[in-house]
A and B are shown apart, each in its own frame.
Chain A
Amino acid sequence: MAAVLPVGSDLSGAMNRFLKTILEKDIVDAVLMPMKVPSGDSFAWIIMSDSSIVDDAEAMAPVMPVQGARALRSLTRKGEGSIRVLALMRPCEIRAAIELSKLGQVKTENLILAAYDCPGAVPMDSFVSDPSSGEDLFRKMLAGEDVSAGEVKPSCTSCVEFSMTDADLHFGHFGLGGTEVLLIPGSPKGMEILEALELPADRETSIWDEAVRKRREKQVASRDAAFEETGENIRGVQGMLNVFADCISCRNCRAACPICYCRLCHFESETAKQDPNSRLDSAVTRGGISLPADRMLFHTGRMTHMSLSCVSCGQCSDACPADIPVAQVFSFVADRTQKAFEYSAGRNDGDPLPLRSFMKSELSGIHEMVSDAEPGGHAHE
């Protein structure tokens, strides 16, 4: 069940008015949402306590400049915030925020996470070069019109978690023809907001449910096709090397990633640096090696560190100056690693991180790999 927000002429505008109202009524102390930058070619996260500023903000921005979870992290990295903040973000940003809260990097106590039905995002580079066509494109995407897959951010074309995350409040607008928005509470916090506004959650959501289901079906098919292609491209050590051969080691993928929060990444540490003489030895013993030597290690290493929490937001691809399909590869790997533990990053606040939990009897095949040697008596019973 959901409450209804009438839209009028402009979907984004209606959401703005809602956020303005909850600020004016002191239901929250501040709102975090995107606002167009003065030059008009991008958006920035603004946390606003003055309700008049909300008029200039954009509830649903065409692009994803900084992952919202990164913005949230900067607010709560030293513990829960002193004021109540509502953050309106894309579902992938909410999922990243939930992962970060499990990793102790975001504190959700004083936060209200709000998400909306995301139609996808426009790639950063094409938006910056032509903002007005980018905005037209995004309007079409919001209206549910067909746009060519090449114009949308690649990770968005295969996103299956575009709606209804574990947010406190969800703005559902798919399938409703742009005439109204459903306010779906996902937690007691979300319910409190609706109660404070005296909005009864009494509307059936079946039309919206059906629209979301249909879209998900389509997205699953396009994701499966994308996975198949990526799987073929990266198969074997040569495939993986070919995909990452263009890497210029700028580490932008890591900088843009919401999950990579380590203050000192292993790959910046002294221990990660290879001994020059061992490199020279390898050049001799192996015939030839590429330099810098750790590009492949960086990508596979980052994969092992964050793939269980990867939300497939695609920021890494957007940030790559060499146009490497980083997000497609990571998303492909993440899908498999997460399935291995029946986990889905950011879907549910209550699911423990796979490496923070275990079952005593599982994965028995792993230690039986040394099958010839029978286990003997234990050292201590």
Chain B
Amino acid sequence: MSEWQPRILAILCNWCSYAGADLAGVSRIQYPPSIRVIRVPCSGRVDQLFILKSLQSGFDGVLVSGCHPGDCHYISGNYVARRKFALLKPLLEFIGIEPDRVQFSWISAGEGERFAEVITKITEDVRKLGPSKRLVKKT
């Protein structure tokens, strides 16, 4: 059996991070094939529940990425996302989910290089942690 590969859900905002991923693609920058992308209109659209649910559904890690502060297409969506994330993070840690499994970053449409770096980093972080066993009771 081949080596275990982490499965990471990347929730990307339409205006910056998704375009950043696109740029990484057209620039042919290499990064691990570990992510499954969901495009959302804005990182502010990301409900904390999306993250809990993706972990429960068996993803090993979750990355949420939006525009840099001040660059949000909808002016302030990413600030709200940051607040929501600040709330969820301690809860996840409290219930025993390793902090590195869920990450948050700002990636602009011009940062194809950075997109690849972020994906490489979260993939390695999650690989070190191994498959997600949490949120589901192991009998």
Contacts and interface: CB of A to CB of B under 8 A. Distances in A.
B68 A375 contact: yes
B91 A304 contact: yes
B137 A304 contact: no
Contact of A304 (B49, B76, B104, B113): B49
Contacts of B56: 293-294, 296-297
B16 to A, nearest CB: 6
B122 A340 contact: no
Nearest to A237: B96
Interface string A229-242: 00000111110110
A254 to B, nearest CB: 14
Interface residues of B, number: 54
Contact of B70 (A305, A360, A377): A360
B96 A238 contact: yes
Interface string A354-381: 1100111011001101101111111110
A366 B95 contact: no
A348 interface: no
B68 to A, nearest CB: 6
Contacts of B97: 237
A303 B109 CA distance: 34
B40 interface: no
Contacts of B106: 367, 375
Interface string B81-97: 01111111111001111
Nearest to A332: B94
B82 A373 contact: no
Interface residues of A, number: 55
B69 to A, nearest CB: 6
A129 interface: no
A234 B117 CA distance: 36
A234 B52 CA distance: 17
A340 B86 contact: yes
Given A340-B87, A358-B76, A373-B114, A296 B104 contact: no
Contacts, number: 146
A200 B74 CA distance: 52
Given A240-B95, A290-B137, A282 B79 contact: no
A190 to B, nearest CB: 33
Given A237-B95, A333-B91, A376-B113, A289 B118 contact: no
A337 interface: yes
B28 interface: no
A287 interface: yes
A304 B87 contact: yes
Contact of A300 (B95, B99, B110, B122): B95
Given A240-B95, A367-B82, A373-B118, A282 B105 contact: no
A369 B49 contact: no
B58 interface: yes
A179 interface: no
Interface string A326-358: 000000010011001100000000000011001
B80 interface: yes
Contact of B80 (A282, A355, A375): A355
B82 A358 contact: yes
A301 B106 CA distance: 25
Nearest to B89: A366
A337 B105 contact: no
Contact of B109 (A285, A296, A373, A379): A379
Contacts of B104: 366-367, 369-370
Interface of A: 234-238, 240-241, 266, 272, 274, 278, 281-282, 285-290, 293-294, 296-297, 300-301, 303-305, 307-308, 333, 336-337, 340-341, 354-355, 358-360, 362-363, 366-367, 369-370, 372-380
Interface of B: 16, 19, 47-49, 52-53, 56-58, 67-71, 76, 79-80, 82-91, 94-97, 99, 103-106, 108-111, 113-114, 117-118, 121-122, 133-139
12 contacts: A301-B49, A301-B53, A304-B48, A304-B52, A362-B82, A363-B86, A367-B104, A375-B111, A377-B111, A378-B68, A379-B109, A380-B108
Given A237-B135, A286-B136, A287-B139, 8 more contacts: A237-B96, A287-B138, A296-B56, A304-B49, A359-B79, A366-B104, A367-B69, A376-B114
